[in-house]
Amino acid sequence: METTAAPQLTVAAWPGCAPRLLPEQPGHEREDCAAYRNRGGYRPLADADELLAEVQHSGLLGRGGAAFPLAVKLRAVRDNGRAVGGAVVIANGEEGEPASIKDRWLLRNRPHLVLDGLRLAAAMVGAKRVYVYVSDPDAARSAETALAEADSDAFGEVAVRVHKVDPGYVAGEETAAVRALNGGPVKPTDKPPRPFESGVGGRPTLVSNVETLANLPYLHQHGAAAFRSLGTADSPGSCLVTLTGAGRSPGLYEIPHGLPFTQLLTLHGVSSDSVQGVLMSGYFAGLLNRDVLDATLDHETMRRFGSALGCGAISVLTDECPVAVAASVLAYFDRENAGQCGSCFNGTAAMSAVGGALRDGVATTADLDRLRRWSVVLRGRGACATLDAATNAAASLLNQFPRSVQHHLDRSCRSCRDGAFRAERPFEVEAVMRA
């Protein structure tokens, strides 16, 4: 089906898999409160601690990128909040990865599913203040409309606010969200403390991804055993995958964890024979070569491949040169870093310079030696994960595509002969939808 918010975006659940996050019936309209309630939404919660136990048994992992167990975060915020008289919850919809659309889609089209999950999370941690944190104007409007639509008893004594910020790669980092809500710039802060210790207004704060929260109403209604009926033992449930590249319009798919990557390609209408690699987890996890065709889409498998499923954004490389793609990604990180950590500010600039020189056929082996060294020694040296993402892009290019790198050293890359791939925001979903 297609959506009004994204007319060129294909949205579909895996055949034979009853969707939990996408609508059960294809349609073109945003789901309002009445429709959501008719589907069982905003069910009364009898026991918040019982629901928290179900979340723990479900094994629900965060869908924002880190795949951290949600129950662990919930318990930490609840326990810390009880010690100081309350906690705060943030639904993080600031989708900084340009190649991802899932969180914006949920807020634009199923806002009540997100708000219901936010309500349940607030109950489990004892929060009276909650926020929907976004940069996308359509998502913000949809969330505000949903709040106006909701019955007065939907949220009880919980105060819900939509907080809009300017977009940016670092804006969705959890400490950047807390800093923005505290009235500061939308930039990460050093850790500790982490938000679960001290966040908005100094209170313990749960910062949870929109898709993660959207799983809670299903758990509330059906329980942990039903949740685990899809997925793998270590990556239970379904997840949303944004698929871009391969010369096709983007797709948003709900799939069971553990699905073979080749089967997702088939659903999207892409031949495996045409694939030379992928860019994983938006830009964060870097590149994988054709070995990815043997992978299944779950966290444990992607870790064995030296990569990450992360936020579920996958860009397929067919005709694009991996060197040129990596150069564009490194240039993006050079532009998008927060500019407040010297190691990141200087490190992304240095790696981007080598990436651009390699793409343009003017790099030397000494340049590559420096790039390889930087991809190791710069890891973990920034306040957020931006520098790590850049090192992932550099290291994965060198390790996964050595022949392409050598072709650029020799100035013999056929893919770039008639002009190299260049993009300020490679595989950006919104740009494709506006085209």
Cβ contact 73:52 at 8 Å = no
Which of 172, 193, 227 delimits the end of a domain?
A: 227
- One domain, residues 220 and 339: no
Q: What is the predicted pLDDT for the residue at 242?
A: 98
Between 151 and 225, the more confident residue is 225
Of residues 78, 7, 41, the one with CA closest to residue 214: 41
- One domain, residues 337 and 220: no
pLDDT tens digits for range 58-112: 999 999 988 999 999 999 999 999 999 899 999 999 998 999 999 999 999 999 9
Task: Tell whether 16 is covered by a domain.
Answer: no
pLDDT over 50 (residue 434): no
Task: Tell whether 2 is covered by a domain.
Answer: no
Q: Which amino acid is at 179?
A: R
Task: Tell whether 208 is covered by a domain.
Answer: yes
- How is 86-143 classified by DSSP, letter by letter? -EEEEEE-----TT--HHHHHHHH-HHHHHHHHHHHHHHHTEEEEEEEE--HHHHHHH
Q: What is the predicted pLDDT for the residue at 25?
A: 72
CA distance 255 to 273: 22
pLDDT over 70 (residue 269): yes
Task: Tell whether 433 is covered by a domain.
Answer: no
Q: What is the predicted pLDDT for the residue at 27?
A: 63
The per-residue pLDDT of the chain, averaged, comes to 94
Question: Per the structure, how many domains does the chain have?
Answer: 2
Query: What pTM, to 2 d.p., does this model score?
Result: 0.95
- One domain, residues 198 and 329: no
Task: Tell whether 124 is covered by a domain.
Answer: yes
Q: What is the predicted pLDDT for the residue at 432?
A: 57
Task: Tell whether 186 is covered by a domain.
Answer: yes
Cβ contact 160:154 at 8 Å = no
- One domain, residues 200 and 332: no
Look up residue 151 and give its two tokens: 């019955």
Task: Tell whether 313 is covered by a domain.
Answer: no
Which domain covers residue 121, as residue numbers? 23-227
- One domain, residues 169 and 30: yes
> The dihedral of CA 381, 385, 389, 390: what is its sign?
negative
pLDDT over 60 (residue 386): yes
Domain of residue 97, CATH code: 3.40.50.11540
Domain of residue 393, CATH code: 1.20.1440.230
- One domain, residues 223 and 353: no
- One domain, residues 98 and 201: yes
How many residues does the structure list for the chain?
Answer: 435
Q: What is the predicted pLDDT for the residue at 124?
A: 98
**Helix ranges, 208-271 (H):** 210-214, 216-222, 224-227, 261-268
pLDDT tens digits for range 376-385: 999 988 888 8
CA distance 345 to 235: 35
pLDDT tens digits for range 350-361: 999 999 999 999
- One domain, residues 223 and 326: no
- One domain, residues 204 and 345: no
Q: What mean pLDDT comes out for the span 282-310? A: 97
pLDDT tens digits for range 195-254: 999 999 999 999 999 999 999 999 999 999 999 999 999 999 999 999 999 999 999 999
Which of 227, 256, 273 delimits the end of a domain?
A: 227
Task: Tell whether 301 is covered by a domain.
Answer: no
- One domain, residues 214 and 328: no
For the chain, what percent of residues have pLDDT higher than 90?
Answer: 90
Look up residue 392 and give its two tokens: 């992932």
Q: What is the predicted pLDDT for the residue at 433?
A: 52
- One domain, residues 78 and 215: yes
pLDDT over 70 (residue 2): no
Q: Which amino acid is at 181?
A: L
Q: What is the predicted pLDDT for the residue at 382?
A: 83
Cβ contact 154:42 at 8 Å = yes
Q: What is the predicted pLDDT for the residue at 435?
A: 37
Which of 192, 227, 262 delimits the end of a domain?
A: 227
Q: What is the predicted pLDDT for the residue at 28?
A: 62
Three-class secondary structure of residue 435 per DSSP: coil
pLDDT tens digits for range 308-350: 999 999 999 999 999 999 999 999 999 999 899 999 999 999 9
